[in-house]
Amino acid sequence: MTGVAAILGAGVIGAGWAARFALMGWEVRVFDPDPAAAARLDRVMENARRALPGLYDTPLPPEGAVIVVDRISQAVRGAEWIQESVPERLDLKRTLYQKVQEHCADEVILASSTSGFTPSALQGPAARRCPVLVAHPFNPVYLLPLVELVAAPDAPADMLDRAKQVLTGIGMAPLHVRHEIDGHIADRLLESLWREALWLVHDGIATTEEIDEAICLGFGLRWAQMGLFETYRIAGGEQGMGHFLSQFGPCLKAPWSHLTDVPELTDELVRTIADQSDAQSGTRTIAELERARDTNLVGLLRALKWTGAGAGAHLRRFDAARQGAAGDIARPIVTQDRAVPLDWTDYNGHMTESRYLYAFADATDRFMEMIGCDADYIAAGNSYFTAETHIRHLAEAHAGQRFRIETTVLEGAGKKMHLFHRMLSGETLLATGEHLLLHVNLETRRSCPPGPDLAHRLSRIATAHAALPRPDGAGRAVGQKPG
């Protein structure tokens, strides 16, 4: 599903929403009276183009147009989704909604990025009733999937369903907050940690850098994969959460934290925190920190995707829903269509040589699935093993660059499967990979004929591909000249 999204306010969050919608194929209209908004939007779009496509192993749709407009009416008229991301001032938001309602469609989804206000508070005495949802994301919106979705008790029944469908379609993971509450769920948790961190600095217990190290090197790594409760369940050992609570529950009565107390943000404390934070970041600019953050997030998210843990399960589901079929077997079969992830690049700024093999291996795995050598077939005791590989590196590929792999079957009879992969970006040939595989019984670890259904499907494709011109470079060896 794609359509038109109106973004009202192009700060860090609003610009992130614009990037997420646009890279998922939506037309995006952005309104922000700030003269610096367009430049900020351009920077966020550049970061998103570099990072987001590499999260997925399937292609994103063609990028939608991003149009900066001068008036609210130009942004919202005809839009299916309106996302408000203006500063956290209730009077400003309510005034904006009244202006929006003069021009938007009755059935539009009007959502706020607010981190604290409830939908009932946001709606206020509007001139025409247009229900406001809360769709609270996390920065950077174009990478982090969570969005807290909150509706007022009297919101139309179908509104949440439509909102969930849109958000899921742009790769986000909506979390329905069932009851209105200030701060929703995640920010209430974050605020508790933030309050305690302020006290630790205020009392001279720890610096900003030491607090960040405690998070990054310790529990933060655990939380990224299994959250709070599952982490503590493991801490209870084989006896589980009940045992953990019986052991550590009494500690909740100990004065370990200040809970909801907040130190007064005096000029001295603000200056201390600011000075420590500046020293912690060193000479790195905000743009450099954003790039480093995105690179690290992509690496973490892809690692979680590999295991299917935490946010990785969400990314897997998104890819699976977009996986294409084999298509016309009379042509080379597209077995990969994706972008180069950030963690696939090296010190030269292009895709490192080991990742070409990784991409070709993924193409081989995808082809195996297409002919029936899938998880069930392998679980039944048979698979293909690669016996020989030859890769030619012909052109550079950079982070975020989209590429596809077209696979030709050179031989597909008996125990052998001989594949030739061509990696292309547009019409530019980046690399080729030639792979000889043998069908193997996983119990004996010896070669054997494939099952009849698989053999038939492979034979059909091999016969069709035999009519194609032999791919340039097939049969090459290292150092061998063309021809």
Question: CATH code for 325-465?
Answer: 3.10.129.10
- The reported pLDDT for the residue numbered 127 is 46
List alpha helices for 32-71, DSSP H. Answer: 37-51
The CATH class for the domain spanning 187-282 reads mainly alpha
C-alpha atoms less than 13 angstroms from C-alpha of 231 in its C-beta half-sphere: 12
Matching residue, tokens 């933030």: 194
Q: What is the mean pLDDT of each run of 10 residues along the chain (483 residues)?
A: 94 97 98 95 95 92 96 96 95 92 91 94 70 94 96 88 96 95 92 92 94 87 80 76 72 70 80 82 81 85 87 89 80 95 88 95 96 95 97 94 96 96 97 97 96 96 96 87 61
Q: What is the pLDDT of residue 129?
A: 57
Distances (CA, A) of 455 to 52, 94, 314, 373: 38, 65, 34, 10
Distance separating alpha carbons of residues 71 and 282, to the nearest angstrom:
40
- Find the helix or strand (DSSP H, E) in which 159 lies: helix 157-169
- Where in the chain are the domains? 4-184, 187-282, 325-465
- Residues belonging to the binding site are 9-14
Per the annotation, binding residues for NAD(+) are 9-14
CA diameter of the chain: 80
Supply the pLDDT for residue 415.
96
Same fold yes or no, 4-184 and 325-465: no
Nearest to 202 by CA among 264, 254, 256: 264
What's the pLDDT at 26?
A: 98
- pLDDT for position 388: 96
Q: Which of 117, 114, 63, 124 is nearest to 85 (CA)?
A: 114
Superfamily of domain 4-184: NAD(P)-binding Rossmann-like Domain (3.40.50.720)
Q: Which of 284, 317, 325 is nearest to 57 (CA)?
A: 317
